[in-house]
Chain A
Amino acid sequence: MADYLLSIMTFFPLLGVLVLLFIPRDNGALLKMSTLAVSLVTFAISLPLAFDNVFATSGAMQYREFHEWINVGNFFQMNYNLGVDGISLWLVMLTTFITPLAILSTWNAIDKNIKGFMAMLLLLETGMLGAFVSIDLFLFYIFWELMLIPMYFLIGIWGGKNRIYAAVKFFIYTAVGSLLMLVAIMFIYYFAVKSGAPMNGFSIEEFYKLDLPYNAQFWLFMAFGLSFAIKVPMFPLHTWLPDAHTEAPTAGSVILAAVLLKMGTYGYVRFAMPLFPEALPTFIPFLAFLSVVGIIYGSLVAMMQDDIKKLVAYSSVAHLGFVMLGVFALNMQGLAGGMIQMINHGISTGALFLIVGFIYERRHTRLITEFGGIATKMPIFATIFMIVTFSSIGLPGTNGFIGEFLALMGAFQGGLRWYAVFATSGVILAAIYMLWVYQRVMFGKVTNPKNENLKDLSVREIVIMLPLLLFIFWIGIYPNTFFSKMNPAMEKMLMQMGANPVAVVEMQQPTVAHVGLDDQAQTVVHND
């Protein structure tokens, strides 16, 4: 079992799709139950990963699986090459954890073509898991594209009024990026073939060792970086996100926010940055700048939204700005902050989308002005919303704080000082837009008669939220559960990026650009 754990985990949802095919389309209950069961089993399959202590000691890929797949000699060779390390571990867990919740959230929300919807969700899960556990770059690309299609249909078929526009926008934005990435992947591959470097198909482990000339690294980083930046999304490539989120059904939004956006950031950490360490310092000031712009811009725009879901979508832009800033700090604190913030964003923003979904199901509108005084009618909902709001704001003791704090601290140490200062102002803005919307939706008197008869959360809805709340506090109070298993892999990855994991950029140096590679610019401190 352990030898094939990753394969079983990745393809179990696909098996579920097959099972769904044999269930009559009008038996909605059975369809939902079996989809839920499949996703829960997938989660159960993935659980041993979370409890495996090997990640705490080794930064190498674990649970390796290797089979030759397509082999046309040097012309083209790719392998079925899977593995998971501390970087992807928690993202895999997040995926298997969020999917059942997303499925559970659609219990009453979807009424047309349940079968197709559920099949798409499961297919999506396979795509996401596959992308996280692929070592072979080409295999990664296949899964990366595989994710795109179910999401496209989820938005395009089960979405809101403007769904076609949103779906096409989402698809084309992402496809543009991924095609660039494909070209870059092919370039690396044939570069490796020509230079006679040892290869193992498209295995990134071998690609890491490649000695690409700076010029090539520059352009390749552009291609990879653009592709991932679209997915993240970084300003100014973010405009697909609000549309996609607003139009997507709740489950789609949740998964889109919780996992799909992480593909972009994960792509930076796993591929773009370690593959092209020499080009990295050239881009860091620019990318860090965009991250900070994203934080402030996303927050300001979120503040003025009149649609709750759009607000949450723009807040995602801001949150992911923190992730990217942390990652670009190129030190342990920053990377750890970025990584944990990915998980946090998955949990908190996922929860926010679920919350928006709950009231949308009740009122079929998301306009803030339609609400007001809901707290009186739905006290449990109000409490949960409050907790999630503060998690999103980054209140200490909740998960959001750990991520933002470490990311900013890392950026501060990593020579991105001024960026960090500006990014910290995002902390204020986050409080403004979240509290403001909370006030307008929940507080005050019930003025709209349509809100008079709102029912509080059902047991099912509470069950969806409880695990999320658990992790909001868990990560806030004892994040070492997660860090301990990420640390070795992060250290390894930072070395690969050409950075010193414990570097502190001295204050006498100019604040930007001299990160990582320039030995003069850093003092290496060992404190053990």
Chain B
Amino acid sequence: MYSNLWLIPFFPLVGAIFNGLFGKKIKNEAVIGGIATGLMFLSFLVAAQNFIKLLGDSEKVHELVLASWITVGNFHLNWELLLDPLSAVMIMVVTGVGTLIHLYSIGYMHGEVGFYRFFSYMNLFAFSMLMLVLGGNALVMFVGWEGVGLCSYLLIGYYYEKKSASTAANKAFIVNRVGDFGFLCGLFTLFWALASKGVWTLNFVKIAESGHLLESGGLLVTVVTLCFFLGATGKSAQIPLFTWLPDAMEGPTPVSALIHAATMVTAGVYMIGRMNGLFAMAPATMMTIAIVGGLTAFFAATIGLAQNDIKRVLAYSTVSQLGYMFLAMGVGAFSAGIFHLMTHAFFKACLFLGSGSVIHGMHHAYHHAHLHDDPQDMRNMGGLRKKMPITFITFLVSTIAISGIPLFSGFFSKDEILWWSFGSTRGHWMLWVLGAAAAGMTAFYMFRLVFMTFFGEQKTDSRAKDHIPESPFTITIPLMVLGLLAVIGGYIGIPAVLGGSNRFEHFLAPVFEHAQHLNEIHAHGSHATEYTLMAISVAIAIVGIFTAWVMYIKNPELPAKFVAKYSRAHRVIFNKWYIDELYEAVFVVPCKRIGTFLWKDVDVKVVDGVVNGCAWVVKGLGTGLRYTQSGYLYNYAMAMVVGVVVIVGFFVF
């Protein structure tokens, strides 16, 4: 039936290995990029075929066992894949967006020394991500989970000669590892809890089936889900583990688009969706998730207000949007969360690629003029809409989408989330306030970005300003496709209140409905309330856009005054609430101190002190006794004779 499922991750793996081994010899960029992109596209085709098949299939959950993996005692684990509506959506997003970004990269990475390396890593990433979403048990998922972490590490550190890049890569991996610690603890607890009930499994389907063995709302299931959530915060850059994502912008821009916007960072959301049965059973965890998600959405948005680096703004925007998804998961709006995941993948990938296009152009211009200004600093941009029309239009469309303006994709998904956070049985009006405030700020800083970059006067150095070209077609085609998706992507999930049938939710229902039903999670409230909330959120977004227009188009001197007036607040926000410094002081420095202490004091002084002390005692005794050893032959001989006499005497007398 779905036996060709394994081909989906297999194609990128082949690409990764091929380019990794032979890319250096091939040298031809078209061949390397073509292979990588082509294999991604093949993978997309297989994914689409399976997706369509699943659409028409009444049986929605399919497992495919590839091989056995670990067999120890009662513990048996397979390499197995799982196709259900949830993973079907995910593979479509991953392979689809992935193919576009691969195509984009051919143009963007042109002329790089490590061209083959880049594509090898990208394909490896696609492979890992597909393993993550297709994994049929928690451990296969974890392989993908760590695999994407690895690729993220490799790609962030792609410019490894830059210290900041390699440091950012390390930070990303290590912070993710903190999350993995949670993931593993959750896995162990879950497995042990189930095994003690007689079910030795990590298989998702079986976990879902035997979830009822655990006490609903009990301590155990809360601990398990909290541990998993810690894992999710690491991968999806939520409070408290979000600090790595902005730094991860050291990687090439397509990487930011694919990994740090569209796919990998959403893995945490996907994972919660995958285990929704367990999460639904733990209201305390759900509440934690909702609060953390809401707070992340809010805080990241505040930081985004003040950044000047085009990619950093997008990075904080990503963190903020991920916060939305977690908010959705936390209030039980699983399908809304996944929906937002998908639309976010479209418009955020488009935004990142658009920013990449801008950076590409700026870089080109600076290179031409032999300048070394920062091509990512928005203060050097402005008025680019005439120079890069395609980039501008797609970028604008995506910005509108992320701001939640009606008829664009972001509106549908975001409003669904806001509605659930207000009306769900697990929701609360304060969560809605957080979400709405974040939405307003999002609209503000995204349009600030657009206005600073594409409108107004051109602030680029005069020597470079005339050399900014529109990007080549390998870059613009993905932009156009993604821009289109950012517009229409929302129409598959028009909620019932707007006259739609929300086909997306129906499609995902087999995965989520059971748990939602079992734990009485549903949104309630009249249509009037829903309309009102919708109107308010749209109004907030428009206010945000208007403010941005006032501050950056109408009165360009206003922001400076504003900063001067609230300098302290600005400094805090500009420096990201000093979270990095806090972590440095609380974790990194003590850790190093303890390490040094354990080494220099405990190891060298105490432990080795005891050991060497023993040696000294023996040596001291020896020093005393060595005076009995004259070294003269006859003294030894005499000692021997004395011995003989004594022994013989002993026997004789």
Do B594 and A395 have beta carbons less than 8 Å apart? no
Contact of B68 among A300, A376, A480 (CB under 8 A): A480
Do A525 and B200 have beta carbons less than 8 Å apart? yes
Do B161 and A397 have beta carbons less than 8 Å apart? no
Decide: A396 near B143, CB < 8 A? Known: A412-B189, A420-B188, A443-B166.
Answer: yes
Decide: A413 near B195, CB < 8 A? Known: A300-B598, A301-B598.
Answer: yes
One of B169-177, B292-300, B317-325, B645-653 contacting the partner: B169-177
One of B69-77, B275-283, B330-338, B493-501 contacting the partner: B69-77
Do A506 and B196 have beta carbons less than 8 Å apart? yes
Give, as a whole number of angstroms, the nearest-CB distance from A97 to chain B.
Answer: 22
**Residues of chain B lying within 8 A (CB to CB) of residue A478:** 67, 69
Do B596 and A304 have beta carbons less than 8 Å apart? yes
**Residues of chain A lying within 8 A (CB to CB) of residue B142:** 396
**Residues of chain A lying within 8 A (CB to CB) of residue B598:** 297, 300-301
User: With A and B bound together, what is the CA distance between A397 and B70 in angstroms?
Assistant: 12
B167 within 8 A of A: yes
**Residues of chain A lying within 8 A (CB to CB) of residue B72:** 332-333, 336, 406, 483, 487
**Residues of chain A lying within 8 A (CB to CB) of residue B195:** 413, 504, 525
B393 within 8 A of A: no
**Residues of chain B lying within 8 A (CB to CB) of residue A169:** 611
Do B73 and A444 have beta carbons less than 8 Å apart? no
B residues 5-32 near A (Cβ < 8 Å) are 24
Do A444 and B166 have beta carbons less than 8 Å apart? yes
Give, as a whole number of angstroms, the nearest-CB distance from B488 to chain A.
Answer: 37
A427 within 8 A of B: yes
One of A14-22, A193-201, A355-363, A431-439 contacting the partner: A431-439
Do B161 and A376 have beta carbons less than 8 Å apart? yes
B591 within 8 A of A: yes
**Residues of chain B lying within 8 A (CB to CB) of residue A421:** 185
Decide: A375 near B160, CB < 8 A? Known: A300-B594, A506-B196, A525-B74.
Answer: yes
**Residues of chain B lying within 8 A (CB to CB) of residue A428:** 174, 177-178, 180-181
Nearest A residue (CB) for B114? A379
User: With A and B bound together, what is the CA distance between A236 and B188 in angstroms?
Assistant: 28
Contact of B184 among A408, A501, A523 (CB under 8 A): A408
Contact of A303 among B74, B166, B170, B591 (CB under 8 A): B591
B85 within 8 A of A: no
Do A432 and B174 have beta carbons less than 8 Å apart? yes
Contact of A504 among B153, B187, B196, B595 (CB under 8 A): B196
Do A502 and B73 have beta carbons less than 8 Å apart? yes
B residues 95-138 near A (Cβ < 8 Å) are none
Nearest A residue (CB) for B67? A478
Do A413 and B192 have beta carbons less than 8 Å apart? yes
User: With A and B bound together, what is the CA distance between A199 and B557 in angstroms?
Assistant: 96
Considering residues B184, B198, B596, which has the most beta carbons from chain A within 10 angstroms of its beta carbon?
B184
Do A332 and B73 have beta carbons less than 8 Å apart? yes
User: With A and B bound together, what is the CA distance between A242 and B604 in angstroms?
Assistant: 11
B542 within 8 A of A: no
User: With A and B bound together, what is the CA distance between A501 and B167 in angstroms?
Assistant: 44
Do B177 and A527 have beta carbons less than 8 Å apart? no
User: With A and B bound together, what is the CA distance between A82 and B180 in angstroms?
Assistant: 44
Decide: A300 near B161, CB < 8 A? Known: A395-B146, A435-B173, A507-B193.
Answer: no
Give, as a whole number of angstroms, the nearest-CB distance from B568 to chain A.
Answer: 34
User: With A and B bound together, what is the CA distance between A376 and B117 in angstroms?
Assistant: 13
A residues 455-504 near B (Cβ < 8 Å) are 477-480, 483-484, 487, 491, 501-502, 504
**Residues of chain B lying within 8 A (CB to CB) of residue A376:** 161
Considering residues B68, B72, B161, which has the most beta carbons from chain A within 10 angstroms of its beta carbon?
B72
B535 within 8 A of A: no
User: With A and B bound together, what is the CA distance between A445 and B595 in angstroms?
Assistant: 27
**Residues of chain A lying within 8 A (CB to CB) of residue B220:** 507
**Residues of chain B lying within 8 A (CB to CB) of residue A333:** 72-73, 75
**Residues of chain A lying within 8 A (CB to CB) of residue B192:** 409, 412-413, 417, 504, 507
A323 within 8 A of B: no
Decide: A525 near B595, CB < 8 A? Known: A336-B73, A444-B166, A484-B71.
Answer: no
B608 within 8 A of A: yes
Decide: A239 near B74, CB < 8 A? Known: A397-B143, A439-B166.
Answer: no
**Chain A interfacial residues counted at CB < 8 A:** 69
User: With A and B bound together, what is the CA distance between A395 and B131 in angstroms?
Assistant: 14
**Residues of chain A lying within 8 A (CB to CB) of residue B188:** 408-409, 412-413, 420, 424
A373 within 8 A of B: yes
A526 within 8 A of B: yes
B457 within 8 A of A: no
Report the tally of A-B residue pairs with Cβ distances under 8 A.
164
User: With A and B bound together, what is the CA distance between A525 and B72 in angstroms?
Assistant: 14
Secondary structure type dominating chain B contacts: helix
Do A427 and B166 have beta carbons less than 8 Å apart? no
Nearest B residue (CB) for A487? B72
B517 within 8 A of A: no
**Residues of chain B lying within 8 A (CB to CB) of residue A331:** 73
A266 within 8 A of B: no
Decide: A525 near B196, CB < 8 A? Known: A297-B598, A300-B591, A444-B161.
Answer: yes
Give, as a whole number of angstroms, the nearest-CB distance from A228 to chain B.
Answer: 18
User: With A and B bound together, what is the CA distance between A420 and B189 in angstroms?
Assistant: 10
Give, as a whole number of angstroms, the nearest-CB distance from B596 to chain A.
Answer: 5
B562 within 8 A of A: no
User: With A and B bound together, what is the CA distance between A445 and B139 in angstroms?
Assistant: 38
**Residues of chain A lying within 8 A (CB to CB) of residue B146:** 395-397, 401
Q: Mark A370-391, 1 if CB is under 8 A from B, else 0.
A: 0001011001000000000010
B603 within 8 A of A: yes
**Residues of chain B lying within 8 A (CB to CB) of residue A412:** 188-189, 191-192
Give, as a whole number of angstroms, the nearest-CB distance from A466 to chain B.
Answer: 13
Do A444 and B178 have beta carbons less than 8 Å apart? no
Do B595 and A304 have beta carbons less than 8 Å apart? yes
B65 within 8 A of A: no
User: With A and B bound together, what is the CA distance between A129 and B174 in angstroms?
Assistant: 39
Do B595 and A303 have beta carbons less than 8 Å apart? yes
**Residues of chain A lying within 8 A (CB to CB) of residue B69:** 477-480
Give, as a whole number of angstroms, the nearest-CB distance from A241 to chain B.
Answer: 11
**Residues of chain B lying within 8 A (CB to CB) of residue A444:** 160-163, 166
User: With A and B bound together, what is the CA distance between A406 and B75 in angstroms?
Assistant: 10
A71 within 8 A of B: no
Do A487 and B603 have beta carbons less than 8 Å apart? no
Nearest B residue (CB) for A390? B150
Q: Mark A140-180, 1 if CB is under 8 A from B, else 0.
A: 00000000000000000000000000000100110000000
User: With A and B bound together, what is the CA distance between A467 and B75 in angstroms?
Assistant: 29
Do A483 and B591 have beta carbons less than 8 Å apart? no
A442 within 8 A of B: yes
**Residues of chain A lying within 8 A (CB to CB) of residue B153:** 435
**Residues of chain A lying within 8 A (CB to CB) of residue B73:** 331-333, 336, 487, 491, 501-502
Do A406 and B611 have beta carbons less than 8 Å apart? no
User: With A and B bound together, what is the CA distance between A463 and B599 in angstroms?
Assistant: 36
Do B200 and A479 have beta carbons less than 8 Å apart? no
Give, as a whole number of angstroms, the nearest-CB distance from A234 to chain B.
Answer: 12
19 A–B pairs (Cβ distance < 8 Å), ordered by A: A238-B607, A304-B599, A373-B161, A408-B184, A412-B188, A412-B189, A424-B185, A427-B177, A427-B181, A439-B167, A444-B161, A479-B69, A487-B71, A507-B193, A507-B196, A507-B220, A525-B74, A525-B200, A527-B200
- A-B pairs, top 6 by smallest CB distance, nearest first, are A332-B73, A443-B166, A304-B595, A412-B188, A396-B143, A300-B595
* A242-B603, A406-B70, A443-B161 known, 18 other contacts, Cβ within 8 Å: A239-B603, A239-B608, A332-B73, A336-B73, A395-B147, A397-B147, A402-B70, A412-B191, A417-B192, A424-B184, A431-B177, A432-B591, A435-B153, A483-B70, A484-B71, A506-B196, A525-B200, A526-B74
A-to-B contact residues, CB < 8 Å: 169, 172-173, 236, 238-240, 242, 297, 300-301, 303-305, 331-333, 336, 373, 375-376, 379, 390, 395-397, 401-402, 405-406, 408-409, 412-413, 417, 420-421, 424-425, 427-428, 431-432, 435-436, 439, 442-445, 477-480, 483-484, 487, 491, 501-502, 504-507, 523, 525-528
